[in-house]
Amino acid sequence: MEAAITGIRADVAALHAELVKYGLVIWTGGNISGRVPGADLFVIKPSGVSYDELSPENMILCDLDGRVIPGTPGSDRSPSSDTAAHAYVYRHMSLVGGVVHTHSTYATAWAARGEAIPCVITAMADEFGGPIPVGPFAIIGDDSIGVSIVDTLSGHRSRAVLMQNHGVFTIGKDARDAVKAAVMTEDVARTVHIARQLGEVLPIPEAAIDSLFDRYQNVYGQAPKGALQ
């Protein structure tokens, strides 16, 4: 178990650099968490710490109620303000191994309008299996956002939700998978926004979306593992 915790600490700390690399965060905003395999625990970023100061040792270990595990590395710091939301997702979505939150520019602009991103490019069909939905406005600090994430994504193929007036939350099989979903969310949000400035966007038929999603999730790549369902 100690080895598993150490591995998740290292993964979660390192993956925050990907959020910076792809321009998904500014200052100390945003966060990543990863579930510890075989335990009711997850690791999450500390609150208000610069990305260049993050390390495996200052990642914070929490239980699935969002309580910091005392006496562990990082336990002298406050966890992310979104910890309760992450914990709720882990409690209620057993297949989720990673959660990411960003305020990436284009996706958050869609969230500010309270508008789902329509599935009008094949990259969306591949990655999300349809539109990226909008969750209701919720206040930061308790598990209200987590409730909205679970309610919105349950039974939905998308691994991303636009929280109205707030930003993006993504889920994945592990933290890296959730980061990929966050990167792809911003990419398609930008592309579809630009397309709409040029004129009417063209929908993809549902049967084609189903076919593209199945191929990408179960055939594409070296070791496909299937969708998170």
Residue 22 falls in the annotated catalytic set: no
SS3 state of residue 9: helix
| Closest-CA residue to 9 (of 65, 74, 70) | 74
Identity of the residue numbered 149: I
Cα–Cα dist 210/148, whole Å: 25
> Is the pLDDT confidence value at 158 over 70?
yes
Do the Cβ atoms of 124 and 116 come closer than 8 Å?
Answer: no
List of domains in the chain = 2-218 (3.40.225.10)
Q: What is the pLDDT of residues 24-73, one digit of tens each?
A: 999 999 999 999 999 999 999 999 999 999 999 999 999 999 999 999 99
Which residue type sits at 64? L
Share of the chain above pLDDT 70, in %: 98
216 is annotated as an active-site residue: no
pLDDT, tens digit (0-9, with 9 covering 90-100), for 75-120: 999 999 999 999 999 999 999 999 999 999 999 999 999 999 999 9
Give the integer Cα–Cα distance in Å for 41 and 200.
46
pLDDT tier for residue 225 given thresholds of 50, 70 and 90: confident
Do 118 and 131 touch, CB atoms closer than 8 A?
Answer: yes
Assess whether pLDDT exceeds 90 at residue 128. Answer: yes
For residue 141, the model assigns a pLDDT of 84
Collect all residues with Cβ–Cβ distance below 8 Å to 167 and sequence separation of at least 6. Answer: 101, 102, 103, 104, 107, 108, 111
pLDDT confidence of 229, banded at 50, 70, 90? low
**What is the value of pTM for the model shown?**
0.96
**Cα–Cα distance for residue pair 22/14, rounded to 1 Å:** 14
Chain centroid offset of residue 47 CA: 17
Nearest partner of 193 among 124, 101, 98, judged by Cα: 124
Tens of pLDDT along 206-218? 999 999 999 999 9
At 228 the pLDDT is 84
Confidence of residue 227 (pLDDT cuts 50, 70, 90): confident
pLDDT of residue 220: 82
Residue partners of 9: CB distance under 8 A and separation at least 6: 43, 56, 57, 59, 61, 73
User: Which of 126, 143, 177, 187 does the annotation list as catalytic?
Assistant: 126
- Nearest-CA neighbor of 176 among 17, 4, 6, 3? 17
Handedness of CA 6, 158, 115, 191 (dihedral sign): positive
